């Protein structure tokens, strides 16, 4: 039987396509993270309702273990003002991922917003151990130390933040620390470095200009305020500061023009209406001045500067009861200012309450060790009451203070003040040549001195029948910058009372206003926000 032959089949090599390995399917995202992209998309679009709906669904599917969903929900709660709920959620994130510094940063921020600054510092310190290169941690840690009033630690942390990364906000907070401790020189150094780093930051330029204004370097103050206005023509702080400088030098119309620009930007600014009111006061428009000051007082009822000015204007208009009301309110907010007690004593004297006027003068003398006008006013009151021995004591104290001021700086004295002191000295028989007569540059003072010496042989009541408003309003236009005093008050009761008008500039960082005292007028310039430290936290 013949053998069956099977046909042989030729084996061909497989094609190249069949030899390629099959591509693997892209791995699916774990169920915990698969909706993160959608959550992030709705969050950055600020579509918070849709975002919260997706977060709720994601947390149900993951049984509450999706860290990113919890994190974003905490951010939304904090934006909505639910700080406590956001804190609890951020703490949950920190439990799920204990080695993540960002979670601890958010926990600390929520604690900061709740006012728990000490707890926030502890959490920030833990975050710093996990990430030593994050400048935000050290910056925020410094801000927390500022609120705890541990300024040395705050400076160390802020300097560390600047070494890691330089930011405008860090410079601002560091400068505020020096302002809080009263170190203007270091504050100016910090702001100079900040301006070199960020020359177009209008807040830095304005603050540095105000500091130059504070120390009396007017040229640089104008330069920096002008630069701030160049970058931001409607920067109301810089405009208000420039207007205040013009107002200090008696340019009331130009200052009012500047304030008109500010009024359109911030019509509810208490310092603005305060300064406008004092411009009208300088122009002798007292009713308009009171109207503007009343509006400023309505907007800021706890600002002692506005109350001070209201009392001053009412004294000018011989409305002593109203002046007493506003000066008493100012003393409640600024109980350590001797000049307020002196003005209160003036009002009480004109209200014929001599005993309380003496008490107010005693308090003023106790609080202010450098202002000789308090002693002069007190001596005049005592002399008119027939208490010559006590009047002589106050007169001698006044001479000591004048000698001290004369040795420390070159000063000019208002001629009316010198005339009153000469009259009092002659009446008390302590001599006519006062220690301050050489500093007077008014030629009329020589004639007043000779006329006073002729009348020294007999006792006469001090003062004249010159109207109070005329004396004070004429003094408001007195524009000699180095002057220490600028007017005297002459009442119809023939009691002449000298009012201090020391020309100096005072930067108040605690109430975040820079104030300029001009001829007894308090001008206000907003320096920072009403919070003494500012928020300063980096979000």
The pLDDT, as a whole number, for residue 218 is 86
4 vs 470: which has the higher pLDDT: 4
pLDDT score for 371 = 84
% helix, strand, coil for the chain, step of 5 = 65, 5, 30
Q: Which of the four pLDDT bands, split at 50, 70 and 90, describes residue 410?
A: low
pLDDT of 303 higher than 90: yes
Rounded-to-integer distance, Cα 160 and Cα 423, Å: 63
One DSSP character per residue, 59-98 reads HHHHTT--HHHHHHHHHHHHHTT-HHHHHHHHHHHHHH-T
**Torsion-angle region of 443 (φ positive above 0: left; ψ -120 to 50: alpha; else: beta):** alpha
The pLDDT of residue 388 is 87
**Using CA of residue 294, residue 300, residue 301, residue 306, what is the dihedral sign?**
negative
Q: What is the predicted pLDDT for the residue at 158?
A: 93
Segment among 79-88, 136-145, 475-484 with least mean pLDDT: 475-484
Q: What is the pLDDT of residue 19?
A: 55
Do 33-114 and 136-198 show the same overall fold? yes
The pair of structure tokens assigned to 60 is 């149900």
Residue 151 contacts residue 178 (beta carbons within 8 Å): no
pLDDT at 366 over 80: yes
d(CA 168, CA 172): 6
231 three-class SS: helix
Percent of the chain with pLDDT over 90: 40
Give CA separation, 23 vs 20, 27, 67, 496, in Å: 9, 12, 32, 104
Bigger pLDDT: 307 or 391? 307
Distance from C-alpha of 128 to C-alpha of 400, rounded to nearest angstrom: 58
Q: How far apart are CA 120 and CA 141, in angstroms?
A: 8
Per mean pLDDT, which of 362-366, 475-479, 503-507 is the most reliable? 362-366
Please determine, for residue 514, whether its predicted confidence score (pLDDT) is greater than 50.
no
Taking 60 as the threshold, does the pLDDT of residue 107 lie above it?
A: yes
Confidence class for position 28, pLDDT limits 50, 70, 90: low
**For 420-446, what is the mean pLDDT?**
59
How many CB atoms lie under 10 A from the CB of residue 530?
10
Closest CA to 346 of 369, 370, 326: 326
- Residue with token string 């401790």: 181
Q: CA–CA separation, 185 vs 271, rounded Å?
A: 25
Rounded Cα distance between 465 and 363, Å, is 28
Q: How many CB atoms lie within 10 A of CB 232?
A: 18
- Cα separation, 539 vs 537, in Å, equals 6
pLDDT band at 532 (very low <50, low <70, confident <90, very high): very low
Question: What's the full length of the chain, in residues?
Answer: 539
- Tell me, what's the pLDDT at 245? 84
Q: Which of 289, 359, 354, 290 is nearest to 331 (CA)?
A: 359
Please, what's the largest Cα pairwise distance for the chain? 175
Alpha-carbon separation of residue 74 from 98, 114, 140 (angstroms): 17, 15, 19
511 CB-near residues (< 8 Å, 6+ apart) = 303, 530, 532
Query: In the prediction, which pLDDT does 330 show?
Result: 95
Residue 11's pLDDT band (boundaries 50, 70, 90)?
A: low
Structure tokens at 453: 């010496």
Give the DSSP H or E segment for 6: none
Encode burial over 146-183: b for 16+ CB neighbours within 10 A, e otherwise. bbeebbeebbebbebbbebeebebbbbbbbbbbbbeee
Q: How far is CA 192 from CA 22, 171, 207, 236, in A?
A: 66, 10, 10, 21
DSSP 530: S
Dump pLDDT digits (tens) for 272-288. Answer: 999 999 999 999 999 99
Specify the higher pLDDT residue, 83 or 511: 83
Look at 16 and 187; give whichever has higher pLDDT.
Answer: 187
Confidence of residue 114 (pLDDT cuts 50, 70, 90): very high
pLDDT digit string (tens) for 313-347? 999 999 999 999 999 999 999 999 999 999 999 99
Residues 326-336: b if buried by 16+ CB within 10 A, e if exposed: bbebbbebbee
Average pLDDT (204-222) is: 90
pLDDT value at residue 438: 44
Domain ranges of the chain: 33-114, 136-198, 365-430+467-475
* Residue 17 in this model has a pLDDT that exceeds 60: no
Q: How far apart are CA 398 and CA 372, in angstroms?
A: 5
pLDDT at 265 over 90: no
Residues in a beta bridge with 522: 517
**C-alpha to C-alpha distance for 166 and 150, rounded to whole angstroms:** 22
Residue 427, CA distances (Å) to 74, 294, 380, 395, 434 in order: 78, 42, 10, 11, 13
Query: Looking at residues 211-232, what average pLDDT do you find?
Result: 89
Res 30: pLDDT? 56
Residue written as token pair 């002057």: 483
Say if CB 415 and CB 446 are below 8 A apart: no
Asked if the model's pLDDT at residue 470 lies above 80, the reply is: no
| Whole-number Å distance between alpha carbons of 156 and 145 | 10
What is the chain's mean pLDDT, rounded? 76
pLDDT of residue 63: 82
* Cβ(525)–Cβ(244) below 8 Å: yes
User: Which of 71-80, 306-315, 530-539 shows the lowest mean pLDDT across its residues?
Assistant: 530-539
Lowest mean pLDDT among 108-117, 170-179, 496-505: 496-505
> What confidence tier does 411 reach under pLDDT thresholds 50, 70, 90?
low
| 472 and 487 Cβ atoms separated by less than 8 Å | yes
Question: For residue 489, what are the β-bridge partners?
Answer: 497
Question: What fold is seen in the domain 33-114?
Answer: 1.25.40
Report the distance separating Cα 307 and Cα 344, nearest Å: 12
Instruction: Report, as an integer, the average pLDDT of 164-187.
Output: 92
pLDDT > 70 in the chain, percent: 72
pLDDT above 70 for 450: no
Among residues 304, 364, 332, 234, the alpha carbon closest in space to that of 515 is found at 304
Give residue 535's pLDDT: 52
Please tell me the least confidently modeled range out of 161-175, 228-242, 435-449, 501-515. Answer: 501-515
Which residue's structure tokens are 């009541």? 461
The CA-to-CA distance between both ends of the chain, in Å, stands at 98
For domain 136-198, the question of CATH label 1.25.40.10 is answered with: yes
**Which one, of 349, 356, 362, 337, lies nearest residue 500 by Cα?**
337
DSSP assignment of 370-390: S-HHHHHHHHHHHHHTT-HHH
pLDDT of residue 420: 82
């Amino acid at each position: 039987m013949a053998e069956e032959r099977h046909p042989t089949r030729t084996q061909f090599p497989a094609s190249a396509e069949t030899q390629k390995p099959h591509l693997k399917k892209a791995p699916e995202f774990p169920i915990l993270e698969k909706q993160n992209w959608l959550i992030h998309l709705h969050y950055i679009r600020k579509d918070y309702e849709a975002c919260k709906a997706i977060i709720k669904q994601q947390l149900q599917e993951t049984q509450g273990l999706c860290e990113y969903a919890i994190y974003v929900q905490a951010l939304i709660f904090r934006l909505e003002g639910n700080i406590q709920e956001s804190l609890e959620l951020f703490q949950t994130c920190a439990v799920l991922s204990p080695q993540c510094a960002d979670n601890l940063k958010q926990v600390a921020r929520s604690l900061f917003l709740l006012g728990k600054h000490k707890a926030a510092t502890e959490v920030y310190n833990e975050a710093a151990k996990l990430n030593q290169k994050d400048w935000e941690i050290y910056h925020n840690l410094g801000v927390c130390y500022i609120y705890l009033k541990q300024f040395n630690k705050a400076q160390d942390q802020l300097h560390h933040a600047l070494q890691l990364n330089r930011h405008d906000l860090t410079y601002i907070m560091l400068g505020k620390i020096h302002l809080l401790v009263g170190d203007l020189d270091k504050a100016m150094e910090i702001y100079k470095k900040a301006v070199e780093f960020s020359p177009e930051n209008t807040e830095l330029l304005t603050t540095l200009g105000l500091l130059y204004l504070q120390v009396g370097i007017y040229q640089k103050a104008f330069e920096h305020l002008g630069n701030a206005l160049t970058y931001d023509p409607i920067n109301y702080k810089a405009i208000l500061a420039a207007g205040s400088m013009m107002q200090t030098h008696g340019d009331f119309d130009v200052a009012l023009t500047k304030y008109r620009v500010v009024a359109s930007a911030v019509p509810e600014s208490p310092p603005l209406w305060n300064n406008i009111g004092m411009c009208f006061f300088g122009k002798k428009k007292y009713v308009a001045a009171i109207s503007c000051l009343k509006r400023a007082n309505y907007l800021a009822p706890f600002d002692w500067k506005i109350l001070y000015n209201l009392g001053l204007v009412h004294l000018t208009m011989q409305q002593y009861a109203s002046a007493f009301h506003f000066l008493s309110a100012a003393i409640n907010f600024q109980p350590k200012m001797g000049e307020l007690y002196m003005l209160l004593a003036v009002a009480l004297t004109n209200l014929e309450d001599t005993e309380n006027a003496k008490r107010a003068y005693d308090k003023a003398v106790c609080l202010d060790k450098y202002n000789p006008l308090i002693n002069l006013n007190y001596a005049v009151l005592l002399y008119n009451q027939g208490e010559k021995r006590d009047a002589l004591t106050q007169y001698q104290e006044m001479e000591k203070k004048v000698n001290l001021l004369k040795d420390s700086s070159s000063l000019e004295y208002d001629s009316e003040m010198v005339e009153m002191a000469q009259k009092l000295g002659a009446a008390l028989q302590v001599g006519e040549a006062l220690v301050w007569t050489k500093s007077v540059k008014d030629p009329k003072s020589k004639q007043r001195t000779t006329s006073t010496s002729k009348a020294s042989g007999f006792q006469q009541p001090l003062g004249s029948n010159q109207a109070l408003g005329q004396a004070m309003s004429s003094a408001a236009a007195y524009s000699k910058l180095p002057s220490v005093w600028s007017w005297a008050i002459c009442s119809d009761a023939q009691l002449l009372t000298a009012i201090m008008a020391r020309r100096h500039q005072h930067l108040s960082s605690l109430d975040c206003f820079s104030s300029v005292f001009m001829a007894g007028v308090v001008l206000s310039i907003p320096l920072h926000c009403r919070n003494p430290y500012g928020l300063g936290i980096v979000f």
